[in-house]
């Protein structure tokens, strides 16, 4: 199959329960980098544990937003540049809330982790590489905000 087919097939199962899979993604992200936790503040309140964050309604909305962006990328695989302006702006918003551009690599690892948990051995090297390419295209566009 082509990369695009591999991505669409592997996204189908995830997109049936985005919140569940998004929780796996973000639980992994906080395991890999607990310093990301304080970036999420709603009404100026910091979470004291990842568990507290992962159960707050505002944060669950962020999870839904992230999954929707990935869903949009999967929908527009053939024509990713139509998301360019949106993703550039999204990058700017993340820079403004204090996200370091390097953290997107940790997010990428967490996305792969979530996909692997979902698919097991079916998530083979070909599928992994297809996702790695897509994710790096998305991040490259979001990252333009950090460039001087
Ligand atoms: C908004 C943090 C990764 C998509 C936000 C906000 C924060 C935040 C603090 C504002 C509050 C909110 O809407 O909940 C982070 C951190 C990340 C991260 C710390 C990882 C290092 C991502 C990724 C995506 C994403 C990978 C999608 C590819 C969004 C969207 C919004 C948002 C769509 C709403 C923007 C708007 O209001 O227009 N993020 N985020 N985030 N984030 Fe993230």
Measure the CA–CA gap between 18 and 138, rounded to whole angstroms. Answer: 19
**DSSP letter for each residue of 9-64:** HHHHHHHHSHHHHHHHHHHHHHHH-GGGGGG-EETTEEPSSHHHHHT-HHHHHHHH
14 close to 64: Cβ distance less than 8 angstroms: no
Choosing from 39, 94, 107, 142 the residue with most ligand 1 atoms within 8 A of its CB, the one to mutate for a pocket test is 94
* Tokens matching residue 55: 């159960």
Atom of ligand 1 minimally distant from the CA of 33: 21
Residue nearest to atom 18 of ligand 1 (CA): 94
Predicted pLDDT of residue 34: 97
Residue nearest to atom 30 of ligand 1 (CA): 65
Predicted pLDDT of residue 1: 72
Checking ipTM against 0.85, whether it exceeds it is yes
Predicted pLDDT of residue 61: 98
Atom of ligand 1 minimally distant from the CA of 104: 21
Choosing from 18, 29, 90, 136 the residue with most ligand 1 atoms within 8 A of its CB, the one to mutate for a pocket test is 90
54 close to 26: Cβ distance less than 8 angstroms: yes
pLDDT digit of tens for each residue in the chain (148 aa)? Answer: 799 999 999 999 999 999 999 999 999 999 999 999 999 999 999 999 999 999 999 999 999 999 999 999 999 999 999 999 999 999 999 999 999 999 999 999 999 999 999 999 999 999 999 999 999 999 999 999 898 6
Does any ligand 1 atom lie closer than 6 A to the CB of residue 97? yes
């Amino acid at each position: 199959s082509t990369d695009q087919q591999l991505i669409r097939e592997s996204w189908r199962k995830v997109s049936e329960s985005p919140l569940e899979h998004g929780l796996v993604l973000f639980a992994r992200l906080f395991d890999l980098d607990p310093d990301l936790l304080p970036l999420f503040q709603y009404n100026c309140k910091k979470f004291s544990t990842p568990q507290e964050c992962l159960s707050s309604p505002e944060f669950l909305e962020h999870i839904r937003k992230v999954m929707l962006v990935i869903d949009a990328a999967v929908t527009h695989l053939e024509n990713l540049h139509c998301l360019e302006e949106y993703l550039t702006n999204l990058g700017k918003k993340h820079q403004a809330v204090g996200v370091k551009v390097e953290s997107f690599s940790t997010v990428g690892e967490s996305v792969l982790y979530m996909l692997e948990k979902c698919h097991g051995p079916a998530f083979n090297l070909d599928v992994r590489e297809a996702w790695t390419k897509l994710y790096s295209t998305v991040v490259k566009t979001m990252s333009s905000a950090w460039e001087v």
